[in-house]
Structure 1
Amino acid sequence: MNLQIHNYNTFRRHARLFLEPSIHHKWKMDQQAMFQQLQPQGKIALSGDMHADSPGHSAKYCSYTLMHLESNTILDIQLVQSKEVGGSAHMEKEGLRRGLDLLESNQLHVDYILTDRHTQVQKFLRERDVKQYYDVWHLEKGLSKKLEKLSRNKDCRVLRKWLLSIKNHIYWSIMSSKEGPEKVAKWKSLVSHIQNVHINDDPLFPRCAHPDRVSRDPSKWLKPGTMVLYKVEKLLMNKRVLRDVEKLSHQHKTSALESFHSVIQRFAPKNVVFPFIGMLCRVYLAAMHFNENADREQAMTFEDTAVYTTMYPKSKKGQPTKKKCMAGYVGDLMRLLFMEVFDDPATFVEELRKVPISVELSAQFDRPAKEDVIV
């Protein structure tokens, strides 16, 4: 069409001078406003999780997010490069450490934090004397994968009929009890259920609340002494699982945090490579978008009738439809860009340059002469 458009280098130059400084400045201002609002509340409850920039175990960037559980707002995002910490396996712990340091420097103290069962995070929070709870979904996801793999064995195929029931029992045993020992007692009753036994030895939970059901097909129950029951019991009743069950959260979940990770995908897709500052500004934009639309109400018709969306498969039934997403932060960014940044970009650029960026790995090598590399 013979259209004249700017090339990529021109776009990057404008992004470095105007766009990225505007995004960084607005996020820092919004973040300080959230900190000042939460400071009078005393201790706060958080959820934290990592989002990698690429699938697999070879991520270059890790964005660690801290979310305020009461308001479902993103308080902080720390972007970590794998080369800063010696590998992608150590990025989650480093992102959490930086986030907690920032909160403490702003007089925000953590009551407890809800995370997954990452072993490095467990040790770090234990040494830092921060109370930690585990998310039920992460535990259920890990156990479901192991049970699914176990059910593929020839002598364990009967377990396939129990996968959904075991998953539902995990949520029921956690959400219906508040104290750690009671959770473990209800958890242990799971092995009794799959044997059609509803009387337990634990005094905290001696008998199931539901009526006994006699099945006409005894073959679907797991029989004592069989290999499949031994493997299931070994998987569900090992010491680490029982120890973690006591610390499972019965009140909050990380589902809102997982939703935020899907928002990051819209601003920074995993199949595109970004520079560090570009990636940082994109996760900041995702946080602004999520915070503005975190508590959207259900959409209503003109007759004040709630709107639902049909979900498939049918087991999910109808889901509430939220109101349309708002983008007020875009207008604020444009006003900041045209009214302030364009007039004096040096101040905002200097503020952005204070963000620490690790040196590229290629910097340790001398750049060869052009004549030497031409074959």
Structure 2
Amino acid sequence: MSAAVKLKPGPKRKLTDSARKLKKKVANAKQNRNRIYIGDQYERWTQLKADLHLGNNAEVAKTLLDRDEELSGVEALPTKRRKLQKTALSNSFLYSSQLSIIDITDDHEDDDSDDSDYEPSFNISLRPNSANFTSLGIEDNSDEEEDSDNEVDDDICQPSTDSQDMVKITKAEDITSDQPFLVYNQCLMKLAAVNIPKTCTAKNCGAEVSVTRNIIGSALHLKWVCGHKHELYEWCSQPILNRRMHSGDLMLASAILLSGNNFKKIELMCKFLNFPIMSNTTFHKIQRTYLIPSVDEFWAENQLDTINQFLGEDLVILGDGRMDSPGHSAQFCSYTFMEYSTKKILCVVTMDKRITELKSTNLEEACFIKGLNFLLDSGLKIVEVVTDAHNQIAAVMKKDYKHIRHSFDIWHGTKNLGKKIMSVGQETDKKELLNWTKDIMNHFWYSAQISETYEEFIGVWFGLLHHVTDEHEWILAYGPSASSSCSHGPLTEERTKGWLQKGSPAHVALRYIVMDKRRLNQVHYYLNCRIIAELENFQNLILVYASKRHSYSPPTYRARNYLAALDHNGHCEREAKKNKDGSIRYQRSFNKKSGVWSVHEVKAEKNYPYIPALIHKIITKRLEDAVGMSQNVVLSADDPRRISKTLAPIPPPTTRELVLKRKSRFVDQSK
């Protein structure tokens, strides 16, 4: 038998990102189970290690544990904590209960390592201060990504809670019956610095002092009062603005609107948490008086700065409209204009259907005209406008803006072509046309991309009718400069898709689709091959701030659209996240409709750089307000509520009249 051949080791097995994170999480969990808190005894530990001339922390731990067993006279460590005695450093001795030993596990061990050979090393934990982690050989991963690989259990991460002054919970009722509050740091530090006597300091009083509490909005007021009504001290959990408005109320209302949240949901969350906040009425007063005017002013300033960046340039702008509710019963329409190259939002126009005589179908045209006139009046030189194939807007551009080129979004045009093919392919004798749907759509896009004139487009587009029948050269070209053959290279033999039979029902149906006069009359709109995909993405961002499942007043809806535009402009230049090796990070997703997996770049986290300045403007508006929130509401000149209070075409009767007229099949009216 020949000698055994020594095999060379294969390449080291590489883990996927998810497997690596899981492995590191398991290793960290094992590490956390070996942590012991020693507090401020680190210096004594290192001094003892030096005095005993020990090489590592494991030897120090063994020495101390052996010494502890000798002193206690038992083999096992005591189950109850003994009362500690102060010991000088010169004694070279620490009790085991004063130690904090960490089992440090190598996070980058080889994939084929055996757990049976695992020998832990030890080091010292200095929680809660992590400044010394580097000197202790522990990697500080505080700047790791959101799915941190070194997560630890909550009870291990927290500082020691052995102090007798801390409130400890032993029953669920102890926490559910309590109440949290919004407290500012400066107010808390002020309370901590105050020494309040237990008896009244008033002359000839000396009565015992008690604490009374009062909740106003989201703030907690505490008063120290004696039995004779002498007030010793009053404390509030929040700073007070002018006319005694609590800072927390204004900040909470600001955060709800600026984050795109709904007050009713936040109120319900706080109700479950037993967390007091301002009332619904107070929130809407704050929103109406300070928040919406501040957002309007801030957007106007930001919009002016954005427009000034493009003065004197030839601009291509994208335009698209969005209704505030599904179906054909919309109340609002918001129309957005975006600059083509930088993807910056230039203008957002919102309009109520009361302005268009309650006809929601006319809203998009009206918003488009208003927004385009605003941009032209601002001094912008617009040479091309790209929209979807909206008939009303196409008619307006052709009639009133002949000096501006109008283009259609190629993606919408291709999608509509695909819908037409899918519809025709449902017929029994034309089903084989469905296999060519994607190829026909791609050819339409390709024809628009390489063509500069209508004749060039026709010469490429009509060649499809020959290609699908396995005819790649034909006698007569479809134009003076058009080719009479396909432009693709040699076809491979491996084909799973069959050719269409010339003159078959499927081929005849395709001929009608390709030579459709209405589509051919719109070819010049697609020759620039423009896409408004980024604008479609922005329409989805508006849903974060203005959901279609909620109703808003006209000023609130306008402000929420402005917030979406500020969000987009503040983050449209975000870079993609990168892995540790410098490569771009991708995330996979599955499309249920197409049944295909795809990947997209993972963008860096948003930092909302405009929010501090916007909140500063809101607070300043309150501090400079000399009237307050109880002032009469005056509608602006363009507010649609001046036209009609409701959307109904007839005035509403009184509630009493409706109750008297109401009849029900489920209630016996004779009783």
Q: TM-score, normalization: structure 2?
A: 0.52
For 1:260, which of 532, 538, 546 is the aligned residue?
538
Cα distance in 1 for residues equivalent to 2:634 and 2:653: 34
* Structure 1 counterpart of 2:323: 52
Q: For residues 266-305 of structure 1, what are the structure 2 equivalents within 5 Å?
A: 266-305=544-583
Structure 1 contact 133–248 (Cα < 8 Å) conserved: yes
Tell me, yes or no, if structure 1 residue 71 matches structure 2 residue 342: yes
CA offset at residue 262 of structure 1?
A: 0.8
Deviations 1:159-180 (A, max 9, x none): 1211111122222222233333
Go from structure 1 to structure 2 and tell me whether the alpha carbon gap of 1:296 and 1:369 turns closer, same or farther (over 3 Å shift): closer
Higher RCO structure, 1 or 2 (CA under 8 Å, sep 6+): 1
* Structure 2 counterpart of 1:328: 609
Residue type matched to 1:304 in 2? Answer: G
Cα distance in 1 for residues equivalent to 2:298 and 2:620: 13
Give RMSD over aligned pairs. Answer: 2.7
CA offset at residue 341 of structure 1?
A: 4.6
Cα distance in 2 for residues equivalent to 1:13 and 1:62: 25
* Structure 1 counterpart of 2:138: none
In the alignment, structure 2 segments of 5+ residues that lack a partner are 1-272, 661-671
* Structure 2 counterpart of 1:213: 491
Cα distance in 2 for residues equivalent to 1:57 and 1:315: 32
CA offset at residue 121 of structure 1?
A: 0.8
Instruction: Give the % identical residues.
Output: 24
Go from structure 1 to structure 2 and tell me whether the alpha carbon gap of 1:300 and 1:14 turns closer, same or farther (over 3 Å shift): same
Go from structure 1 to structure 2 and tell me whether the alpha carbon gap of 1:249 and 1:351 turns closer, same or farther (over 3 Å shift): farther
* Greater C-alpha radius of gyration: 2
CA offset at residue 108 of structure 1?
A: 1.6
Once the two structures are overlaid, the 10-residue window that deviates more, 26-35 or 84-93, is 84-93
Once the two structures are overlaid, the 10-residue window that deviates more, 16-25 or 226-235, is 226-235
Deviations 1:190-240 (A, max 9, x none): 222222222352242322221353878899222222222222221221112
Structure 1 contact 180–247 (Cα < 8 Å) conserved: no
CA offset at residue 317 of structure 1?
A: 3.9
Once the two structures are overlaid, the 10-residue window that deviates more, 363-372 or 320-329, is 363-372
Go from structure 1 to structure 2 and tell me whether the alpha carbon gap of 1:351 and 1:70 turns closer, same or farther (over 3 Å shift): farther
Cα distance in 1 for residues equivalent to 2:456 and 2:331: 42
Deviations 1:321-349 (A, max 9, x none): 222223112112111111245423879x9
Residue type matched to 2:325 in 1? Answer: S
Go from structure 1 to structure 2 and tell me whether the alpha carbon gap of 1:253 and 1:218 turns closer, same or farther (over 3 Å shift): closer
Structure 1 contact 184–246 (Cα < 8 Å) conserved: no
* Structure 2 counterpart of 1:197: 471
Number of aligned residues = 373
Structure 1 contact 183–246 (Cα < 8 Å) conserved: no
Cα distance in 1 for residues equivalent to 2:315 and 2:634: 29
CA offset at residue 132 of structure 1?
A: 0.3
Residue type matched to 1:153 in 2? Answer: E
Structure 1 contact 47–113 (Cα < 8 Å) conserved: yes
Which of the two has greater helix per residue?
A: 1
* Structure 1 counterpart of 2:412: 138
Tell me, yes or no, if structure 1 residue 162 matches structure 2 residue 436: yes
For 2:292, which of 20, 26, 30 is the aligned residue?
20
**Matched position secondary structure for 1:65:** strand
Residue type matched to 1:177 in 2? Answer: S
Once the two structures are overlaid, the 10-residue window that deviates more, 219-228 or 277-286, is 219-228
Deviations 1:265-300 (A, max 9, x none): 111111111111111111100000011111222212
Structure 2 contact 575–604 (Cα < 8 Å) conserved: yes
Structure 1 contact 182–205 (Cα < 8 Å) conserved: no
* Structure 1 counterpart of 2:457: 183
